[in-house]
Amino acid sequence: MSISMSSASLPVFITMLTNLNHFLDRAQSFVDAKKCDPAALTQYRLAPDMLPFTRQVLIACDAAKNAVGRISGNPAPKFEDFETTLSELKARVQKTLDYLATVPASALDGTEEREITFPVGRDATKTMTAEAYLKHWALPNLFFHVTTAYAILRHNGVDLGKSDFLQGAGS
């Protein structure tokens, strides 16, 4: 049996965003225990030219919802990027998960050859088939931003390990 577009996308997006929500819970526990300013985490960046933690979370959410929207041919909802606190970031992740829960498998399955044109940076676009887009752009993009968010928290002392990153694997 071959793998379907829905089974290769929705469960992966949902698992990784659920894990990201778990990271945010751990970050909040860290802030509460250490009595530190949450902005020390939310505004932290691993390198001067990298985006801060907050943007990593927002982009991970957008990567998942926009990929599903593009693949299905039904535009994903647009969310304003106003989140600055850990609780607001958790709400953003949940809003994204709520949207993903509304997308039926039938909206994604059979779309492998659909042409997807999407923005790359500020001034360019790229066109790929939906299958190539999912495998070689959307999923790697999601993993990059979730991993970077994880690394920022870990670097700053939040108690996270590999089992936290993979907590939803195989669910």
Rounded-to-10 torsion of CA 155, 157, 162, 165: -80
pLDDT of residue 2: 79
pLDDT of residue 121: 87
Q: Is the pLDDT of residue 1 over 70?
A: no
pLDDT tier at 74, thresholds 50, 70, 90? very high
Q: Is the pLDDT of residue 81 over 80?
A: yes
CA distance 108 to 69: 9
∠ CA 75-80-86, nearest 5°, is 120
CB 141, CB 3: distance < 8 Å: no
Which helix (DSSP H) or strand (DSSP E) does residue 6 occupy? helix 5-34
Nearest-CA neighbor of 140 among 6, 9, 5, 39?
9
pLDDT, the chain, mean: 96
Rounded-to-10 torsion of CA 116, 92, 47, 165: -90
pLDDT tier at 133, thresholds 50, 70, 90? very high
Average pLDDT (87-101) is 98
Q: Is the pLDDT of residue 45 over 70?
A: yes
Q: Is the pLDDT of residue 16 over 70?
A: yes
Average pLDDT (122-140) is 97
pLDDT tier at 170, thresholds 50, 70, 90? low
Which three-class secondary structure state does DSSP give residue 40?
helix
Residue 136, beta-bridge partner list? none
| Highest CATH level, class, for 5-165 | mainly alpha
Which three-class secondary structure state does DSSP give residue 75?
coil
Average pLDDT (11-24) is 97
- The tokens for 108 are 């994604």
pLDDT of residue 131: 98
